[in-house]
Structure 1
Amino acid sequence: MNTGKHIAIFGPTGYIGTKMLINLYNEGHRLSLFSRNIRKLSFLQDECMLLISKEPRICVIEQFLEARYLKQVTDALMGVDVIYYFIHSLNMNKGNFTNKDNQLAELIAKAANAAGVQQIIYLGGLGVDTPEAPISPHLKSRQETAEHFRMYHPCVTEFRAGVIIGAGSASFEIVRNLGTKLPFLPQLPGYQGLCQPIYVNDVACYLAHALCNPLYYNQIAEIGSEDIFRYSEMLEAFAWISQHKKLKTLPLPLINKLLTPSVIAWFAARMTPLPYVLIEPLVEGMHSLAIVGDHPVERVDPGVSIVPIPFKEAVFLALERLETGTMDSVWSIPYELSVFNAEHKKQFLHFTSKEIEGMLYEECSRAIGVDEMSSVFECVKQIGGKTGYYSPRWLWEARGFIDKLFGGPGLSPSRRRPDLLRVGDRLDFWVVTFYKNTPDEKILRLKAKMLSPGNAWLQFVVKRSPTDHESLFNLRAYFEPSGIWGYVYWYSLYFIHKFIFKEMAENIVKEARRQKHQPLS
């Protein structure tokens, strides 16, 4: 076992990156986490129940990755043994993610070579290029990124994985939502490609197994389960496994030619919590062969003991973890889509509307005891999902229904365990943009992903007063209108907002007190 290594992770806030940083830390390694948005890593300091110790073996480095910062990146990599690289620029403008990924790979490889890093482990995607099934731009860019790593560093391990099945993964969210909600599958035009899914824990095992393993130096290792599906077959299999529903494929000759990847991605974005910019590159690969080709992992490592579990078992495990909320990582809203405000860089916490130019807000506060701070904040963290919003549920469901009608995500119930909240997590049609949980101050800020003529946030603050005898619970809704219709929207809902936010604040405090005094069974 390779314990005690110094490992750098690029992309530690993504689905695989978060899972690997937790696993590697718990195995005893020292970690340097490179991120341009370190707020998404604040959960490591607050109340992360997934780390088995509190040893100071994690260094968080806020670093923008551009060629002009080559020396800074090189200096930060001094003493690092191995790099895990999980960055993929799916959310770039169409056609730009390839160049961006290649530039990043060149930068990291040069810095790693200069710093004496022994090995770079890169996770890409399966893709076999044939005349009848050309590889998609997204899958091709993944493999080109690995080539750029190899051009500038002498020891690169490239893993190519199939569709990753796991609670919280973007791929599984698409499969789960479409397999659950579609009454039938429209027959897609053209050649339908193949995919070879793999369970997320198996991917993590392979990645850890390759650490400082000479068998994997300068190798391409393709990994996937024994199951190979057409994409429609995978959805049919999921529907049957999860609900015993027979999801049939029907030919629709009149609209068949209209079902381009862009159109399919648009509809999928309406039916899943994922944004269109993430779905479209993934959907473009449905005509490709995302299967193991000329580089099976068994050829690299004939004695490898890792055997990926079947698709059926992977689905069962993923659904079980979704139901219980016991997933240690989830796909996150991209940085560009989750920052609280692209124009106003100052984070708003306790300011008045005059200090936040152009902002509108509604607030409600309640005085609570110091001993009630934790219980109130625990109730705040339970918001969404089955708990609801401590106010008439039908109002929120009506808002979600209207959002769906106009092409938004709707309420889309989705949440994780409240003790694992972190920046970037999704709670129904919100995304967490700020989270803090200290004895004297507790903050949860949510940014709305629903359609509206402006940007909206909902913020909860529990703070100890200077006198130390009482605390204040404050609920504040912010709105940044876009043009005149933004103001019309806000003021047309003035009395509804007044009612809802007052109800929320009062009921949160009531529920916290009820739970606190509820006798233990």
Structure 2
Amino acid sequence: MRVAVVGASGYVGSRLVPELLRRGHDVVATHHRSPSTAYPWSGDVEWRRVDVQDEERVVEALHGVDAICYLVHGLDDPDFMRLDRQAADNVAYAAGVVGASRLVYFSGIVPDLPDDELSDHLLSRLEVEEILATADCSVLTLRASMVVGAGSTSFEVMRQMSTRLGVVQTVPAWMGGSVIQPVAVADAVWFLAEALERPEVTGHLDVVGPDRLSYVSLLRTYAARARLVRVQLPVWLAPVETVARVAGVLVDVPSGTVQSLIPSLGHDMVGERDAADVLGEPPGGRVGVADAVSRSLATTRAGDGAPDGAAVDGDPQAPSTGDPSWSRHRSVLDWVWSTARGR
């Protein structure tokens, strides 16, 4: 099958491509500015340039493909909701024009709340899902909460904040009671590849791991596996906007992305329609949170004799040479020094 991965150079895309290659699929990888040469699989795919805001270019980029996996999210732009709607509309239209038989979208778990109670991040994901569902082909949305893996945006926010906040970690009270069901990236890409091969499954499913836990418990699990001594201290007077701004300063992840993600932490993010009930379990079963964290921390840099995390024979949990520079492991002293110098 010829599969287009729209967003191949992003985190999930970089781990999905080797899974598709392992399964014997031909992969068309899209890029916006220039093809990525950093990932081990870069020479094994057909690169096509696309601007998802340009309907004509989207149609050209998807010509001749059998299936499409859509992984684009524009959190780093202040106008990301409008841009995401336009991009989704272009992809839905193009899927019908090129005759693709399958479209799979990787989204976020959306709590069952009125739209005015959802963060812009979650509301945008839901809007994109609804637009893509109008495509003239079989469509499935896979929803996930936190994806655990070295290089994942949400994982790197947790890792960097856990490292840099010191022994006492302040946890906003509005976040402390929320429950999350994280998924290892190794499992996420398995479910995505499986979904692309199962056109009879439509609608939406939740891609989740086997553990349900509070954000506080998640931070404790991370600290234990990272061998950090950390004590969580609840803070009642911590407005969402303030927490988002502070987090954006503390971590290397782009601040706009962080500030878009933080408000979602006040919601429960657990699965109600488990993808495993429909698509089956990954070989060996799903990875628990503790093991996913340990595998993600097993090596802090790609190379050093370890297989690249985006290699066909690598562990998707591990880092890759193609991961963004902000995901590189740095000590607290390195971070303080670079921050003082304006990064």
TM-score range, shorter-chain basis?
0.7 to 0.9
Task: Provide the C-alpha distance between the structure 2 equivalents of 1:402 and 1:203, rounded to a whole number of angstroms.
Answer: 36
Q: Measure how far apart 1:81 and its partner are.
A: 0.3
Aligned length: 323
Match of 2:313 in 1: none
Match of 1:332 in 2: 324
Compared CA separation, residues 175 and 146, structure 1 to 2 (3 A): same
Q: Measure how far apart 1:24 and its partner are.
A: 1.9
Which among 181, 193, 196 is matched to residue 208 of structure 1? 193
Match of 2:207 in 1: 223
| Equivalent residues of 1:129, 1:289 under 8 A apart | no
Match of 1:404 in 2: 339
- Aligned ranges 1:53-92 → 2 under 5 Å: 58-66=45-53, 69-92=54-77
Match of 1:503 in 2: none
Compared CA separation, residues 321 and 202, structure 1 to 2 (3 A): farther
1:190 aligns with 2:180: no
Task: Provide the C-alpha distance between the structure 2 equivalents of 1:164 and 1:189, rounded to a whole number of angstroms.
Answer: 23
SS of the equivalent of 1:180 reads helix
Task: Provide the C-alpha distance between the structure 1 equivalents of 2:245 and 2:56, rounded to a whole number of angstroms.
Answer: 42
- Aligned ranges 1:43-58 → 2 under 5 Å: 43=38, 48=40, 58=45
Q: Measure how far apart 1:76 and its partner are.
A: 3.4
Compared CA separation, residues 72 and 249, structure 1 to 2 (3 A): closer
Which among 8, 25, 28 is matched to residue 12 of structure 1? 8
State the AA in 1 paired with 2:3.
I
SS of the equivalent of 1:28 reads coil
Superposed CA deviations along residues 106-126 of structure 1, whole A, max 9, x for unmatched, are 101101101100101110011
- Aligned ranges 1:464-479 → 2 under 5 Å: none
Which among 238, 241, 250 is matched to residue 262 of structure 1? 241
1:34 aligns with 2:30: yes
Q: Measure how far apart 1:323 and its partner are.
A: 5.5
Match of 2:94 in 1: 111
Compared CA separation, residues 61 and 298, structure 1 to 2 (3 A): closer
SS of the equivalent of 1:322 reads coil
Task: Provide the C-alpha distance between the structure 2 equivalents of 1:223 and 1:10, rounded to a whole number of angstroms.
Answer: 19
Q: Measure how far apart 1:275 and its partner are.
A: 1.9
SS of the equivalent of 2:299 reads helix
SS of the equivalent of 1:290 reads coil
Superposed CA deviations along residues 438-459 of structure 1, whole A, max 9, x for unmatched, are xxxxxxxxxxxx2xxxxxxxxx
Poorly superposed stretches of 4+, deviation over 6 Å? none
SS of the equivalent of 1:225 reads coil
Match of 2:157 in 1: 174
| Equivalent residues of 1:38, 1:60 under 8 A apart | no
Q: Measure how far apart 1:244 and its partner are.
A: 5.5
| Equivalent residues of 1:159, 1:221 under 8 A apart | yes
| Equivalent residues of 1:146, 1:158 under 8 A apart | yes
Match of 1:164 in 2: 147
Match of 1:290 in 2: 269
State the AA in 2 paired with 1:38.
S
Match of 2:297 in 1: 319
Task: Provide the C-alpha distance between the structure 2 equivalents of 1:239 and 1:280, rounded to a whole number of angstroms.
Answer: 23
State the AA in 1 paired with 2:126.
Q
Greater Cα shift, 14-23 or 189-198:
189-198
Superposed CA deviations along residues 467-513 of structure 1, whole A, max 9, x for unmatched, are xxxxxxxxxxxxxxxxxxxxxxxxxxxxxxxxxxxxxxxxxxxxxxx
RMSD: 2.8
| Equivalent residues of 1:185, 1:232 under 8 A apart | no
Greater relative CO (CA pairs within 8 A, separation 6+) = 2
Task: Provide the C-alpha distance between the structure 1 equivalents of 2:152 and 2:24, rounded to a whole number of angstroms.
Answer: 26
| Equivalent residues of 2:69, 2:196 under 8 A apart | no
- Aligned ranges 1:404-483 → 2 under 5 Å: 404-405=339-340, 408=342, 450=343
User: Any unmatched runs of 5+ in structure 1?
Assistant: 335-383, 387-396, 409-449, 451-521
1:234 aligns with 2:213: no
SS of the equivalent of 1:89 reads coil
Compared CA separation, residues 30 and 313, structure 1 to 2 (3 A): same
Compared CA separation, residues 172 and 72, structure 1 to 2 (3 A): closer
| Equivalent residues of 2:138, 2:199 under 8 A apart | no
Percent of residue pairs identical: 24
Q: Measure how far apart 1:321 and its partner are.
A: 3.3
| Equivalent residues of 2:19, 2:190 under 8 A apart | no
State the AA in 2 paired with 1:332.
P
TM-score (norm 1): 0.57
Compared CA separation, residues 61 and 219, structure 1 to 2 (3 A): same
| Equivalent residues of 1:12, 1:33 under 8 A apart | yes
Compared CA separation, residues 404 and 385, structure 1 to 2 (3 A): closer
- Structure showing greater radius of gyration is 1
User: Any unmatched runs of 5+ in structure 2?
Assistant: 311-319
State the AA in 1 paired with 2:34.
I
Task: Provide the C-alpha distance between the structure 1 equivalents of 2:6 and 2:270, rounded to a whole number of angstroms.
Answer: 26
State the AA in 2 paired with 1:212.
E
| Equivalent residues of 1:178, 1:268 under 8 A apart | yes
Match of 2:314 in 1: none
Match of 1:434 in 2: none
Match of 1:135 in 2: 118
Task: Provide the C-alpha distance between the structure 1 equivalents of 2:164 and 2:57, rounded to a whole number of angstroms.
Answer: 48
Q: Measure how far apart 1:140 and its partner are.
A: 2.2
Greater Cα shift, 24-33 or 9-18:
24-33
Compared CA separation, residues 176 and 87, structure 1 to 2 (3 A): same
Q: Measure how far apart 1:404 and its partner are.
A: 2.9
